[in-house]
Amino acid sequence: MIRKKVHPNAITTSGFLVTVVAGYFYGIDHVRTAGALVLLGGAHDIFDGRVARLSGLQSKFGAFYDSVLDRISEVVIYIGLISLYNQYEMTLFNIGMIYMIALAMAGSLMISYTRAKAEVLGLECTVGLMQRAERVVLLGLGSLMFGLSWNGFVLSAIIVVFAVLTNLTAIRRIVWVHKAAAGVPLDS
């Protein structure tokens, strides 16, 4: 990609578009295809940063752009998952799964927000499980390998794990920042 002079922001954009298509495939009940696309979109996210570093094209805008599209990508995936469960009979289980997806989405966004806010305060906060790479691999592989096998048990279990661990990670980061920064005055 470096030899072909592909700009890292083009890789970021194409990865984002792949992830949007993944969200669509979740929404139309093609879980295995969606899983493959989640992994492909995640691979783009690895390569864009490497290409930027190796080609000397790192920029503040590129880092910002990558981060923003990562968040939008996550929201699109979660909306696709909500659409998946929303098309089924509204049993207590399926309604519960929609709430679990909403909790997982909130936790995923809070993981990123707590890290970004800590960085603004001059702290590097990377503690906790379920960072984006782990979420991409778990959801992508789980969807690709199991689809809706066993009445969707594997996918549902992954979503519940996300709902719990993403929020615990966000809480852990809050506690970490509290320990590192409580009582430290803001710079004027």
Q: Is the pLDDT of residue 178 over 70?
A: yes
CA distance 129 to 147: 24
Q: For position 127, what pLDDT does the model report?
A: 95
Once rounded to an integer, what is the mean pLDDT over residues 97-122? 97
The DSSP output letter for 23 is H
Alpha carbon dihedral 18, 23, 29, 34, in 10-degree steps, equals 40
Say whether domain 8-181 belongs to CATH 1.20.120.1760: yes
Over the stretch 18-49, which tens digit does the pLDDT of each residue have? 999 999 999 999 999 999 999 999 999 989 98
Q: For position 1, what pLDDT does the model report?
A: 62
Q: Percent of the chain, pLDDT > 70? A: 97
Once rounded to an integer, what is the mean pLDDT over residues 152-168? 96
84's tokens: 């998946």
CA distance 99 to 82: 9
